């Protein structure tokens, strides 16, 4: 009798804990480590079963709500895993800043400018997936009126077709630096010499072909080339990733927002999983959540 009571209590305790859990811990791993004496942190999120999803808040809402307000309202009933600033911003003041480069938020045009030098075009789907393509390759595939179309958005006419597609599909699109594409480091040593802490989003495939997302945070100041080279090496040599589909930049400039939550929904206190800017100063946010 006593044993059955104990068992029941244990089961109810497990059920209570799992009901409290924000996400399935087997899909999300995080660690803080060091390579060549330099500290870095990695969040690894598996898209197996498509339970881990991405959401992008590209700009303030048309009603004037700021990005962080949009995020907080949305997150009130979501199991958030991690949140980070997204692409570069046009101004340090989040109230008037827009994302740098071409951007569409849920079908609403945020920035029409195709920014020179930012080769990555990321498309965030309502289903929680994200893909990025290399603008320089000129082979962006979309379905227009039920037909597959390959667009070169460097060409004005194709860019217009893409814009109309994004509006029609209520897609979220943003332009960013593309550092790795199809296992190739795209940056040259002659890139910007500015020193800053760096953060990257890499989408990879594991040995079983499942999509795995990584956020790699490098708190130590580095040039953009040094940072992306280090992050690529971490993926290859420390995470043993075979296939890096793409790796894009996450902003750590005027907006350096970064937070990680454990599987119980508590904010991880380790400073290697934290940015130094308050979320109220975010101009755009990329959020990982569990559903």
Partner 1 sequence: MRKKLTWLVPLVCISAVVFVFITSAGYDEKIAQEKPIVPHQYSIRLLLDGITNEHLLEQFPYGRYLDSANIQDIQSIKNDLAVLNEKFPGDSMRNMQLISIALTDSLYAQYEKKHYFQIFDADFLTQLFQWAEKFNAYAEIEQSNTLLYGSIYNYWGSKISNHLGELSKNNSSLKYEYKFKYLKSKCDEKRFSVATKVGQVEKVAYNLLSSQWSHLLNASWNQATYMQLVVFFVFGILTIYGYLLIIKKIIKRNENQ
Kindly state the smallest distance separating residue 221's Cβ from partner 1, in Å.
Answer: 5
Burial classification of residue 16, based on how many CB atoms lie within 10 Å of its CB (0-12 exposed, 13-18 middle, 19 or more buried):
exposed
Q: Does 12 bind partner 1 (CB under 8 A)?
A: no
Q: Which is nearer to partner 1, 237 or 278 (CB)?
A: 278
Judged by CB under 8 A, the stretch of 3-11, 71-79, 260-268, 276-284 that binds partner 1 is 276-284
| Per-position b or e across 206-245, b if 16+ CB within 10 A of its CB | beeeebbbbbbbbbbebbbbbbbbbbbebbeeebebeebb
Q: Does 19 bind partner 1 (CB under 8 A)?
A: no
Torsion, Cα 155 125 173 66, to 10 degrees, reads: 160
Each residue 70-99 as x (binds partner 1 by CB under 8 A) or -, in order, gives ------------------x-xxxx----x-
Among 197, 225, 236, 243, binds partner 1 (CB under 8 A): 197
Burial classification of residue 6, based on how many CB atoms lie within 10 Å of its CB (0-12 exposed, 13-18 middle, 19 or more buried):
exposed
Range 205-224, binding partner 1 (CB under 8 A): 220-221
Q: Does 38 bind partner 1 (CB under 8 A)?
A: no
| Per-position b or e across 61-90, b if 16+ CB within 10 A of its CB | eeeeebbbbbbeeebeeebbbbbbbbbbbb
Q: Does 199 bind partner 1 (CB under 8 A)?
A: no
Q: Does 136 bind partner 1 (CB under 8 A)?
A: no
Q: Does 195 bind partner 1 (CB under 8 A)?
A: yes
The CB density around residue 290, as the number of other CB atoms within 10 Å, is: 20
Range 142-181, binding partner 1 (CB under 8 A): 155-157, 159-161, 163-164
Q: Does 260 bind partner 1 (CB under 8 A)?
A: no
Task: Give the H/E segment covering residue 129.
Answer: none
**Residues in contact with partner 1 by the rule CB under 8 A:** 88, 90-93, 98, 100, 109-116, 155-157, 159-161, 163-164, 195-197, 220-221, 254, 256, 276-278, 281
């Amino acid at each position: 009798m006593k044993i059955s009571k104990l068992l029941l209590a244990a089961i109810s305790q497990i059920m209570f804990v799992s009901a409290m859990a924000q996400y399935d811990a087997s899909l999300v791993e995080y660690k803080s480590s060091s390579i060549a004496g330099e500290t870095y942190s990695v969040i690894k999120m598996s898209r197996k079963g498509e339970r881990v999803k991405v959401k992008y808040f590209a700009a303030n809402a048309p009603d004037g709500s700021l990005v962080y307000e949009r995020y907080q309202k949305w997150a009130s009933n979501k199991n958030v895993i991690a949140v980070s600033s997204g692409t570069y911003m046009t101004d340090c003041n989040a109230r008037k800043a827009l994302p740098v480069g071409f951007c569409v938020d849920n079908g609403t045009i945020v920035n029409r400018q195709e920014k020179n030098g930012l080769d990555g075009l990321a498309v965030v789907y309502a289903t929680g997936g994200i893909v990025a393509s290399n603008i320089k390759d000129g082979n962006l595939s979309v379905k227009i009126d039920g037909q597959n179309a390959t667009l070169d958005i460097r060409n004005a006419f194709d860019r217009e077709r893409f814009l109309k597609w994004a509006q029609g599909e209520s897609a979220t699109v943003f332009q960013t630096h593309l550092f790795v594409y199809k296992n190739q480091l795209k940056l040259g040593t002659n890139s910007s010499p500015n020193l800053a802490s760096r953060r990257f989003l890499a989408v990879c495939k594991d040995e079983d072909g499942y999509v795995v997302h990584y956020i790699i945070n490098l708190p130590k100041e580095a040039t953009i080339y040094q940072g992306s080279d280090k992050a690529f090496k971490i993926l290859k040599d420390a995470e043993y990733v075979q296939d890096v589909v793409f790796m894009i930049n996450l902003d750590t400039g005027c907006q350096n927002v970064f937070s990680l939550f454990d599987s119980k929904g508590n904010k991880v206190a380790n400073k290697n999983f934290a940015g130094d800017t308050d979320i109220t100063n975010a101009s755009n946010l990329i959020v990982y959540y569990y559903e």
